[in-house]
Structure 1
Amino acid sequence: MLGSVETRSVSPVFVGRAAELGLLDEVLAGAAAGDPQALLIGGEAGVGKTRLVEEFAVAARRRGAVVALGGCVEIGADGLPFAPFSTALRALRRELPGQLAAAAAGQEEELARLLPEIGTAAAREAARHDEDGMARLFELTARLLERVTAEHTVVLALEDLHWADASTRHLLSYLFRTLRTGRLVVLATYRSDDIHRRHPLRPLLAELDRLRTVRRLELARFNREEVCRQVAGILAQEPDPDQVDAIFERSDGNAFFVEELAVAAHEGCRTGLTDSLRDLLLVRVEGLPETAQQVARIVAEGGSTVEYRLLAAVARLAEDDLIEALRAAVNASILTPAPGGDGYRFRHSLVREAVSDDLLPGERSRLNRRYAEALETDPTLVPADQHATRLASYWYHAHDAAKALPAVLDAAVEARHRHAYAEQLRLLERAMELWDAAPEAVRRTLRPVDYAEVYPTCGGPETTALRHLDLLAEAAVAGRLCGERERALKITKRALRQLDEEDDPLRAAWFWIQRSRLVQRLARGDGWKEIATAQDLVRGLPPSEVHAEVLATVAHWSMLHQPGPEALTAAERAVEYARMVGADDIEANARLTLGGLMIDAGQIEAGLAHMHEVRDEVVARGLPAVVGRSHVNLPSALEGIGRSEEAVRVLHEGLRLTGRMGLRDAEGWVWGNLAESLISLGRWDEAAEAAVNAQRRGQTAAPYGSGANSLAFLALARGRVPEAARHLAESRASYGPHDPMPQHDLPIACLTIQVAVAEGRLADARAELARTLESGFPPGTQRYAWPLLLEAATAEADARALPTARDGREGALESIFEAVKRLTTNAPVWLAHERWVRAELHRAEFHGAGSRSAPDTWSEVVTAFEPLDRPYDLARVRYRLAESLLTDGGEADERDRATELLRLVHAAARHLGARPLADAATALARRARLPLTPATEPESAPADPAEALGLTSRERDVLRLVAAGHTNRRIAEELFISPKTASVHVSNILAKLGVSGRGEAAAVAHRLGLFPAESVTPGPAG
């Protein structure tokens, strides 16, 4: 309305900042090249951060970039959840509507938590909230930005980070840590002088300082020459040197104060120079007409921006009088139209703060009440996604508990719907503060069905009034979901202390389950004591949702820690109870647990059918948390019984679904399981990439540890023992000692034995074996137990001839024999391992003379492994068979058979990169004077042209897609790797082929006939 009014005090000349603009230009160029950029701009209030961003935005638009600005919104002492991101995405939607809609396709309901216009409120409110909810929203936001910026350079500028709510800070941190592709600049500004020791932004700044991908820019004050140029621009004439000296001394080079002092000096007859800079900020406000001063005070208390219609409702002035007052304030450069032209804000927040601080306490309360009353009368006065939060803030600062309590609870519900759990927790704590101050009559009108999502879990009719315990329950969940676990733990303690005086076992059991999760997440134990307490509380009670959740938790914990008949019974009852009370999510999770326990109990086909059925159902229903878990547990079960190829198929589908749904931690788990299955199948280069992705994508320790285990195994198998030891240490540190589980501890124990043996520490390997066997192997852990026993038995056999290894050998062999007797062999892969372990034990006992029965023994082992599609295991047992055939020289036919076996072993080992095995095969052949290649075939000439070119199996896969014309991004999608990794592979291929471009590489591939024509699918050029 008043956007055309000129504000004379704004300097028309942009002064200094050449180095800073140069850095911003460099950042923009990097983004335009496809490398996302992150920049933090700090500086004291008034130093010129906003002006620098504005100048950069103009320059970026000239270069074809789309600029989306968003600012953190302050209302009193409160911030709006995700406010800067919502504003920036809204601007991005105006600039690139089609591209943003395409990028959000399929995930509109989740992304509507940030940008309500693209989804429906009903869908947001109906969504369940789980551990991954906020991370899922963050991941989908990152994917959205990556897709939008695939073809367009975008500058996402977020201002006033010092006012940011916790959810905004968490999302910004997530983007800075995870964005890897796209033409994107994420830029954020903050007031450095406001960041005191306990300011919530300080930990984020410390975290970002450790990221090499984030740049920091601290704006300095102007020097005297720059102040002189600024004053000249404001006054439109060369200033008097004495005047410049005075302004420079008073302002100390702060750009905003320079501006205020220059105007004050120019209008000295009216205002003069004041003794206090704070007074200086108020001088021009006090020079306004009384009505304009009144409007300024109203705007100061309304928040960082106040909509025109809301301002009109609160000011209660005739429209002509309001417009004249606004014109006066804008003309004096006190207020300015907000971006978008829908309201007004102070031109500088320092002036707003000075005006707000100058309000009397009663005046502040009265203004907040008028704001609240106006919003209650007409909710459309503010954007819909801000209404609840702003109304709650206004009533709270009006000191009206009767009105504030329900408004704060409404705002907490809205924050929950947006996955803004940190703000939900803060609002719930404010509600608890207001609880006793609010009249009893008001509290009786509050219904739990309206405010407490966990209330149905705790039981009770919907007509019951909201209780203080309901607020504690909501706050405990919010604290757990936003990472404030210490606060959540204290809240559960407070609730249980309150429940000591009540006979409410279901509620108590529910809070004990919450405590168990918090204790595990805080690394203070395994959570069983809390779970057992909950189980005792519900024992004998009729079926309920709480009862089903307790049983499901018992079954899941037992599956991971102590699998057995009791765990199976608990899972069956959990499924039954959940089905009876209609708790679908609990039932789905319990059925997954049940399927896994059935497999452990030997009911393999029935258990797998159960897990497949659950997987199909939750995918069809779109339950994100269970979709993620089903694509982790099912392939893990398949791998556990040796069906690695099936597992890989499920895992690839899991990557597609978890990536699309933004299930980052579940995706990390899937990558970790994929690495394990690919190792079994002999696809080691792919396995290494999958292991690294598990470590990058996972949000918790387990995926990182799983990836480290796979990398340690590969390093050992390839002869890189120090590297293996490093990865083993990473794995051990990831899992920690607080919550031991067989699925974590046994693989670590196996690797510990292998590393100790490789380093010549047989005594340490035996000690690790003894420690592990003392704990025993719970049912269903044979997938981890057999490899461990195998490595221990192999170590004893290899050390058989060493005199130093005699002490302790008998005890070690006896303990392995006893463990073998107790382990199950209910799958072909574990039956094969049992034969292998027994063969190694035989080799350990009868090394050399007296072992002529060994070829038959090893032949049986080879026969057991041949149909299993485990090339490394098969190569190892073939080597042992060849070795046994050559004992004492071997007969002619045995030597021929050994020759063929060693050729197969050597070829497999070279393909896998298993140098120790390849060297062993070469050494054995040399000792026995056997040729590793037929006489007609030169040993140095590989049959495969790709091998002759020095290409690894992974580089061959990449070259196939390059030959098909695919871009790096498409190659990455096809092979489940990052675009950057694809780029590195392409560069290596070009170097090995001696060509300068992708077209030449494709020509070489076609000329050598590396890929049959039918296997090449044309793709986009690039």
Structure 2
Amino acid sequence: MFVGRTDELSTLHDALARSAAGEPQTVLLGGEAGVGKSRLIEEFTGSAACRGAVVALGGCVEVGADGLPFAPFSAALRALRRELPDAFAAAIAGHEEELARLVPELGEPPAARGTGRHDEESMARLFELTARLLERVAADHTVVMALEDLHWADASTRYLLAYLFRTLRTGRLLILASYRSDDIHRRHPLRPLLAELDRLRTVRRLELARFTRQEVSRQIAGILAAEPDPAQVDEIFERSDGNAFFVEELAVAVRERGCPSLRESLRDLLLVRVEALPEPAQRIVRIAAEGGSTVEHGLLAAVARLSEDDLIEALRDAVNANILIAAPTGDGYRFRHSLVREAVSDDLLPGERSRLNRRYAEALEADPALVPADQRVMRLASYWYHAHDPAKALPAVLDASVAARARHAYGEQLGLLERAMELWDAAPQEVRARLRLADYTATYAPCGCDPATTPLTYLDLMAEAAVAGRFCGERDRAMRIIKRALRLLEDEHDPLRAAWFWVQRSRLVQAKALGDGRRELDTAQELVRGLPPSEVHAEVLANVAKWAMAHEPGPDALSAAERAVEYARMVGAREIEMTARLTLGGLMVQAGDIEAGLAEMDEVNKRTVADGIAAVAARSYVNLPSALESVGRSREAVPLLEEGIAFTRRFGLLSSEAWVWGNLAESLFTLGRWEEAAEAASRSRYVGQSAKPRGFHARIRAEIALARGDLAEASGHLAEAHEHFGTHDIVPQYFLPLARIAIGIAAGEGRLLDARAELERVLEDGFPPGTQRYGWPLLLAAATAEADVSGLPAAGPGRPETLAGIRRAAKSLATNVPVWQAYEHWVHAELLRAEGRDRPEDWAELVAAFETLERPYDLARVRCRLAEALLAADEDQRNRATELLRLVHATAEHLRARPLADRAALLARRARLTLTSAPQQRSAAGPAESLGLTNREREVLRLVAHGRTNRQIAEELFISPKTASVHVSNILAKLGVSGRGEAAAMAHRLGLFPPETGDRPAAR
């Protein structure tokens, strides 16, 4: 009978109800061994199935270096495929080969045929496809996926779980996962995952407590089929401490043998029932204990070497004694409880354990069909390793590492390669000599060699392990391997291999925020200097150019990129060539060769997408829109970024997707779509697994908060951004925007000296070439801070020096596109304002310049300055100033830019102007005039209401598309709406324009 757990069942049924309503749920079920986790899952899933849910069960398997890769997901997905064959087939359509890494029955994975790709994003691609599969299958069916024994989970299973918990947002899906809490010691690999999941609001954790005395009494009554003696209950309760499994064992012992067993240790108690079996059954139980969580009948028979009748009789005794049970799926057996298996295994002698593992390995080698195909190599490697036979174990472990890599299980690949390195010296030389490079590595091949005939070396293993560690996020382990490899290479003359390891070390140093990686790249570049062109040489140069583009753009970086392209073409390294060309295009844009640079980047994007070079294509979706943003072409960047999001999501490129979201947030902010920008920034943080995309998110949120006048929130986001970007890798594109925000916050809080100090820190190092997109806004913030306190005591001493410093710095920044020419004039105008020498003409020119740029917030700010200058200079300009302030106020209210709105209102009050027309005037003037629309804006709104695009509006009114777009942005701000559809709806609702005959469909 099922005892207790009322609250836990209620929580699970609540989660089931929520998931059935289309909100994915996750419940983690923890508890010590034997406390009743599996029994609770059995009770709940049975109830869920009765309510119409599809139940898919999977369990972690304790096999290999760190469990069997993806074992619980493979089992659960097989169950889903059996239960919902049509829905499953539709959900995986087009991705069967990739998902065969999880469910081998779907086909042969590309990597198994030598065509698969391996990079940092390979595993993420598989994870994204898995998430989409589950969402599609659970779109029309309530699915309960129960995964047991996470304490045995392999690294890849843990990574996949973390991914699913973060990304699943739709579908009628409940994931229920259990683990032994008493096994999760301080260094257990599951502990970091549990800590991460605790921070997710979508994940609930249940911790099963031991039974109370009353529950123990009910459990014993169910076992004995009679009311137990209260004294007996007290004794069993005290002895078991409420652990359900031990209660059962003690109750059965009492029923079968009386009370003496209560004096035995719990471990002995677990073995008592085994030792009571006939000797053949005991032998079968000991053999099964070393076979794994589940042992197939044929394999057990091959190892036991008994006649079929004797084997069946021994198994019948073990099953009747409730020690072994039939496996839920397949033809095999498992222990009723893993605690019994562990006790039996621990009771084996060391030599006995080795002998049993050898017999398992020999049986499996003789007949590989004895176990499922997807488990074969892993289990063979585990058996030979525990048989302590290095000659057999080394090739078996290496075969298993290749299989793990083919499944993108890089965590398991790393563990197996570490085992191979452990076995290397112990294996006979003739065994090592038979191993070939092509059979076991996909990472580094010495130049000029034929991998099919070149013997595998210990350094080759280290190279493969270092990359596997980087791919699976085990950066500390990868760094230790690289350090050992470089020490070994000190005694060998192999500059190409050493350079390769230094490049890997540079990547890890940057990823771990231990430095900027430049010293490592310099070492690699020195090692390949003067050597003939090679793939390693091209990779070194490509990485040097990529580093320089972010840190020190200039002629040297351009030269390195050009040579990287040349070398990659010479040696046929297509991916390195595309990477270097993308960097080259970005450097060309920074150097002022804008159209040629953008064309180069666009061609790389198109070619890599067409050729399936996903990693470079994803980077192009980050870099090309960023380059467009850098030259003021934000509107062109947005659709490309949206395309990039779809691309990176399709391939599961999480890191790249996070950067694309961040860049989209930046462009949306520029275009005045601040709510969308905030959402995009949040997606960047949510998707990103590394620190820098999270820093990008915090920076955008700080920008918005500062513009809206929430200085406390801006300060919090600024501190968060600094924390994520760190102090060991100073990149201009990160620290210059943060310095600008810091200046803005300090100025807003009246801390002018702090604002000046921040500026001085930046000006000490100067602006690197190509950083005008960050430099001009920073100088503008500093000049504005000085101008805002002009004539006040707060200006204090040091003001002339600060203004002079801004002017000197401005001379070093490029003005190669209209947006930065406008910013140059703006900085100059603010400096004149700080000195009391600005004129309306200065601001009028600026307004004219920004009216051609799609930057509504900047346009509103310079309009406000023009209105202020007009009111100060000429009383006759009140009407023009009023119109300007109304535009400013409408834009500021739309953006919720409170400081700008307050400034416009203050200027209006001082000049006794009204920002809105009086009611009677509004009625007389008509609805269009009451909204503050100019004649031209009314014409544009009429065309918007009739569904015209910006290009069509431009054609009909004989203006440029950009000017049409500016008018549309102003109209949206004045109407207080967020899009063209809302503007058209308002125009129709107010009856502003009669319908046209044959109206075109509304633009979307």
Q: CA-atom RMSD, angstroms?
A: 2.9
Query: Helix, strand or coil: the match of 1:567?
Result: helix
| Greater mean deviation of Cα atoms: 926-935 or 321-330 | 926-935
| Greater mean deviation of Cα atoms: 779-788 or 210-219 | 210-219
Say if 2:696 is the partner of 1:706.
yes
- CA distance in 1: counterparts of 2:108 and 2:291, whole angstroms: 28
| TM-score in terms of structure 2 length | 0.90
- CA distance in 2: counterparts of 1:191 and 1:514, whole angstroms: 37
Q: Is the 8 A contact 1:448 1:455 kept in 2?
A: no
- CA distance in 2: counterparts of 1:457 and 1:128, whole angstroms: 20
- CA distance in 1: counterparts of 2:885 and 2:183, whole angstroms: 71
1:472 match: 462
- CA distance in 2: counterparts of 1:940 and 1:634, whole angstroms: 48
- CA distance in 2: counterparts of 1:372 and 1:270, whole angstroms: 42
Query: Helix, strand or coil: the match of 2:210?
Result: coil
Which residue of the other structure, out of 114, 117, 121, is the alignment partner of 2:105? Answer: 117
1:969 match: none
Which residue of the other structure, out of 435, 454, 460, is the alignment partner of 2:449? Answer: 460
Which residue of the other structure, out of 889, 894, 899, is the alignment partner of 2:882? Answer: 899
2:414 match: 425
Q: CA deviation at 1:167?
A: 2.2
Q: CA deviation at 1:270?
A: 13
1:51 match: 39
Q: 5+ residue gaps in structure 1?
A: 1-12, 949-959, 961-991, 994-1001
Say if 2:314 is the partner of 1:325.
yes
Q: CA deviation at 1:1009?
A: 8.1
Q: CA deviation at 1:1015?
A: 6.1
Equivalent residue runs for 1:675-686 within 5 Å = 675-686=665-676
Equivalent residue runs for 1:880-891 within 5 Å = 880-890=865-875
Which residue of the other structure, out of 390, 405, 415, is the alignment partner of 2:379? Answer: 390
Distance 1:1004 1:675, change over 3 A: closer
Q: CA deviation at 1:634?
A: 0.4
Q: Is the 8 A contact 1:274 1:280 kept in 2?
A: no
Amino acid of the residue matched to residue 905 of structure 2?
A: T
Distance 1:695 1:245, change over 3 A: closer
- CA distance in 2: counterparts of 1:420 and 1:49, whole angstroms: 28
- CA distance in 2: counterparts of 1:945 and 1:348, whole angstroms: 78
Equivalent residue runs for 1:475-874 within 5 Å = 475-847=465-837, 851=838, 854-874=839-859
| Greater mean deviation of Cα atoms: 661-670 or 589-598 | 661-670
- CA distance in 2: counterparts of 1:71 and 1:1008, whole angstroms: 63
Q: Is the 8 A contact 2:718 2:742 kept in 1?
A: yes
Which residue of the other structure, out of 90, 94, 109, is the alignment partner of 1:102? Answer: 90
Amino acid of the residue matched to residue 821 of structure 1?
A: K
Distance 1:377 1:659, change over 3 A: same
- CA distance in 2: counterparts of 1:941 and 1:204, whole angstroms: 63
- CA distance in 1: counterparts of 2:45 and 2:667, whole angstroms: 49
2:57 match: 69
Distance 1:401 1:866, change over 3 A: same
- CA distance in 1: counterparts of 2:80 and 2:11, whole angstroms: 24
- CA distance in 2: counterparts of 1:340 and 1:888, whole angstroms: 88
- CA distance in 2: counterparts of 1:379 and 1:540, whole angstroms: 51
Deviations 1:67-89 (A, max 9, x none): 11111101377511221121112
Which residue of the other structure, out of 426, 433, 445, is the alignment partner of 1:437? Answer: 426
Query: Helix, strand or coil: the match of 1:446?
Result: coil
- CA distance in 1: counterparts of 2:475 and 2:913, whole angstroms: 65
Distance 1:595 1:77, change over 3 A: closer
- CA distance in 1: counterparts of 2:212 and 2:760, whole angstroms: 72
| Greater mean deviation of Cα atoms: 560-569 or 195-204 | 195-204
Q: Is the 8 A contact 1:513 1:530 kept in 2?
A: yes
Query: Helix, strand or coil: the match of 2:790?
Result: coil
Amino acid of the residue matched to residue 513 of structure 2?
A: A
- CA distance in 2: counterparts of 1:1004 and 1:934, whole angstroms: 19
- CA distance in 1: counterparts of 2:136 and 2:603, whole angstroms: 33
- CA distance in 2: counterparts of 1:770 and 1:464, whole angstroms: 58
Q: CA deviation at 1:938?
A: 6.4
Say if 2:50 is the partner of 1:35.
no
- CA distance in 1: counterparts of 2:931 and 2:368, whole angstroms: 69
Deviations 1:649-691 (A, max 9, x none): 1011111111222222212111111111112112222112112
- CA distance in 1: counterparts of 2:118 and 2:249, whole angstroms: 50
Distance 1:783 1:107, change over 3 A: farther
Equivalent residue runs for 1:940-959 within 5 Å = none
- CA distance in 2: counterparts of 1:944 and 1:467, whole angstroms: 81
- CA distance in 2: counterparts of 1:326 and 1:270, whole angstroms: 28
Distance 1:452 1:341, change over 3 A: closer
Q: 5+ residue gaps in structure 2?
A: 934-944, 946-975, 978-983
- CA distance in 2: counterparts of 1:855 and 1:241, whole angstroms: 97
2:361 match: 372
Q: Is the 8 A contact 1:704 1:734 kept in 2?
A: yes
| Greater mean deviation of Cα atoms: 336-345 or 50-59 | 336-345
Distance 1:551 1:939, change over 3 A: farther
Deviations 1:829-886 (A, max 9, x none): 1111112222222222234xxx5xx222222222222111211111222222222222
Q: CA deviation at 1:772?
A: 0.8
Distance 1:148 1:553, change over 3 A: same
Q: Is the 8 A contact 2:98 2:110 kept in 1?
A: no
| Greater mean deviation of Cα atoms: 494-503 or 715-724 | 715-724
Query: Helix, strand or coil: the match of 2:445?
Result: helix
Equivalent residue runs for 1:931-1010 within 5 Å = 931-933=914-916, 936-937=921-922
Say if 2:250 is the partner of 1:267.
no
Q: CA deviation at 1:242?
A: 4.8
Query: Helix, strand or coil: the match of 1:336?
Result: strand
Q: Is the 8 A contact 1:879 1:905 kept in 2?
A: yes
Q: CA deviation at 1:404?
A: 0.3
| Greater mean deviation of Cα atoms: 297-306 or 860-869 | 860-869
Query: Helix, strand or coil: the match of 1:40?
Result: strand
Q: CA deviation at 1:939?
A: 12
Amino acid of the residue matched to residue 920 of structure 1?
A: R
2:12 match: 24
Q: Is the 8 A contact 1:72 1:163 kept in 2?
A: yes
- CA distance in 2: counterparts of 1:946 and 1:707, whole angstroms: 36
- CA distance in 1: counterparts of 2:607 and 2:869, whole angstroms: 52
2:906 match: 923
